[in-house]
Amino acid sequence: MPSPDLLAKLAAHYAANVDDLFMEAGFFPPDVSKILANHFRDAVVLLRAHFSGE
Protein backbone atom coordinates (compact mmCIF):
# COMPACT_ATOMS: atom_id res chain seq x y z
CA MET A 1 0.00 0.00 0.00
CA PRO A 2 1.44 3.41 -0.89
CA SER A 3 2.32 5.84 1.87
CA PRO A 4 0.39 9.08 2.29
CA ASP A 5 3.52 10.98 1.21
CA LEU A 6 3.75 8.98 -2.02
CA LEU A 7 0.04 9.50 -2.72
CA ALA A 8 0.44 13.26 -2.38
CA LYS A 9 3.43 13.22 -4.74
CA LEU A 10 1.58 11.09 -7.30
CA ALA A 11 -1.44 13.38 -7.17
CA ALA A 12 0.76 16.40 -7.78
CA HIS A 13 2.69 14.73 -10.60
CA TYR A 14 -0.40 13.50 -12.45
CA ALA A 15 -2.62 16.47 -11.55
CA ALA A 16 -5.01 14.02 -9.91
CA ASN A 17 -7.40 14.73 -7.07
CA VAL A 18 -5.39 13.97 -3.94
CA ASP A 19 -8.52 13.29 -1.85
CA ASP A 20 -9.68 10.66 -4.34
CA LEU A 21 -6.28 8.94 -4.27
CA PHE A 22 -6.23 8.86 -0.48
CA MET A 23 -9.73 7.41 -0.31
CA GLU A 24 -9.01 4.78 -2.98
CA ALA A 25 -5.94 3.71 -0.99
CA GLY A 26 -8.02 3.37 2.18
CA PHE A 27 -6.83 6.57 3.89
CA PHE A 28 -8.55 9.72 4.96
CA PRO A 29 -6.78 12.80 3.64
CA PRO A 30 -4.37 14.13 6.29
CA ASP A 31 -6.45 17.20 7.11
CA VAL A 32 -9.55 15.05 7.63
CA SER A 33 -7.60 12.63 9.84
CA LYS A 34 -6.47 15.55 11.97
CA ILE A 35 -10.03 16.90 12.24
CA LEU A 36 -11.34 13.49 13.27
CA ALA A 37 -8.55 13.02 15.82
CA ASN A 38 -9.08 16.46 17.36
CA HIS A 39 -12.89 16.64 17.18
CA PHE A 40 -14.02 13.02 17.24
CA ARG A 41 -17.27 13.47 19.14
CA ASP A 42 -18.32 16.55 17.16
CA ALA A 43 -17.52 14.78 13.88
CA VAL A 44 -19.61 11.75 14.83
CA VAL A 45 -22.58 13.91 15.83
CA LEU A 46 -22.29 15.97 12.64
CA LEU A 47 -22.02 12.93 10.38
CA ARG A 48 -24.95 11.16 12.01
CA ALA A 49 -27.11 14.28 11.85
CA HIS A 50 -26.29 14.87 8.21
CA PHE A 51 -26.38 11.32 6.83
CA SER A 52 -28.70 9.29 9.04
CA GLY A 53 -31.88 10.75 7.57
CA GLU A 54 -33.40 11.31 10.99
Q: Shortest CA distance to 24 belongs to which of 36, 35, 34, 16?
A: 16
Q: Which residues form the domain of 23?
A: 4-51
Please name the residues in contact with 28: beta carbons below 8 A apart, sequence gap of 6 or more: 22, 36
**49, exposed or middle or buried, with CB in 10 Å at 0-12, 13-18, 19+?**
exposed
CB proximity list for 54: less than 8 A, separation 6 or greater: 48
- Domains: count for the chain: 1
In this prediction, residue 53 carries a pLDDT of 76
For residue range 8-41, what is the model confidence (pLDDT) as tens digits? 999 999 999 999 999 999 999 999 999 999 999 9
- Model pTM score: 0.73
- pLDDT of amino acid 10: 93
The predicted pLDDT at position 42 comes to: 97
